[in-house]
Amino acid sequence: QVQLVESGGGLVQPGGSLRLSCAASERTFSNYAVAWFRQRPGKVREFVAGIDWSSSRTIYADPVKGRFTISRANDENTVYLQMNSLNPEDTAVYYCAASRMTMTSSPNGMNYWGKGTLVTVSS
């Protein structure tokens, strides 16, 4: 059972940046595709970004393209989400999820989830 722990959330002003981290408990994490999802207030959980096990392929949701970057350090069992040019619409709980199968943007394709970290963008 892989345990995922997110960190790095907090309060940031519009236009600011944050870097989220997702740390895994197992070294087998390096074999999994990983994605970030978010749930904004009153909204359903939505895909944000994904990365395959080798970092050769990444995908992004349209609202974050050009602003967010997903990366991973398999030797550290960690995946990152660098978030730049944040705006109030990015306020959400951000979740890390891992899939034993191929990379997907569907939450139904994820096998493991973290508990989330809150990002608040406000002046």
What are the DSSP calls for 62-113, one per residue?
GGGTTTEEEEEEGGGTEEEEEE-S--GGG-EEEEEEEESSS--S-GGG-SEE
Q: What is the pLDDT of residue 54?
A: 84
Instruction: State the Cα–Cα distance between residues 62 and 22, nearest whole angstrom.
Output: 22
pLDDT digits (tens, 9 = 90+) for 111-121: 999 999 999 99
The mean pLDDT value for 3-32 works out to: 95
Choice between 54 and 44, residue whose per-residue pLDDT is larger: 44
Q: How many CA atoms lie within 13 A of 49 on its CB side?
A: 22
Other C-beta atoms closer than 10 Å to the C-beta of 83 total 25
Residue 34 has pLDDT above 90, yes or no: yes
Reported confidence tier of residue 28, pLDDT bands at 50, 70, 90: confident
Q: What is the pLDDT of residue 84?
A: 98
